[in-house]
Amino acid sequence: MPKEFTAQRLDVRAFAEAGGALSARTPLAVFGRLLAEAQGRGAERDLHWSARGEHRNPHQVRPQAWLHLQAQAVLSLTCQRCLAPVDVTVAVDRSFRFVDDEATAEAEDDAAEEDLLALSRDFDLPALVEDEILLALPLVPRHDACPQPLPAAMADPGADADGQATRPNPFAVLQQLKAGGGVSGAE
């Protein structure tokens, strides 16, 4: 009979040894930090995640516990161009190697290519899911093409309503000076 595992209090070593698998569709409302990034929008949407344990080198003195995590969510973030909501798909696909304690993880971190975490009998897997989605957020969320024209305050201050330049191009002014022509309108 397969062992039952709980995502909120996961025994990582046992999960890896059993080759365990967990998955869930969890409402974004459960993830407070993600919901804060979305400014409360989309609380009813689901975050899909799955985790699989793996025990590598089981016949060696120090077998390794691994966890492979996949997660995906569509978050309603704020477009940094037009300041309107924009739906952004955020996905994670990462593997973690677990070591005996935090000191070992810190000592081996620089030399390891994989991410290291400390073994625990009550590991909070949903917290790891939230952390990884937060780390995968785009630095500057934005629409490919904003649905509304930019407000006038955000438009080029040197352009009229049609987008045409109302000020002389500074490089054109420099070119005139260089050519010895002087600047029109300057005294």
| Banded model confidence at residue 152, pLDDT cuts 50, 70, 90 | low
When pLDDT is cut at 50, 70 and 90, the band that residue 1 belongs to is: very low
CA-to-CA distance for 90 and 26, rounded, in angstroms? 15
Contact 142, 148 (CB under 8 A): no
Q: pTM for the whole thing? A: 0.74
Compare 155 and 114 and report the one with higher pLDDT: 114
3-state secondary structure 124-172: CHHHHHHHHHHHHCCCCCCCCCCCCCCCHHHCCCCECCCCCECCCCHHH
Secondary element (H or E) of residue 71: strand 64-78
Which of the listed ranges 43-47, 158-162, 164-168 does the model predict with the highest average pLDDT? 43-47
Q: Which residues pair with 50 in a beta bridge?
A: 23, 70
Average pLDDT of the residues in 128-153: 88
Per-residue confidence (pLDDT) for residue 154, from 0 to 100: 53
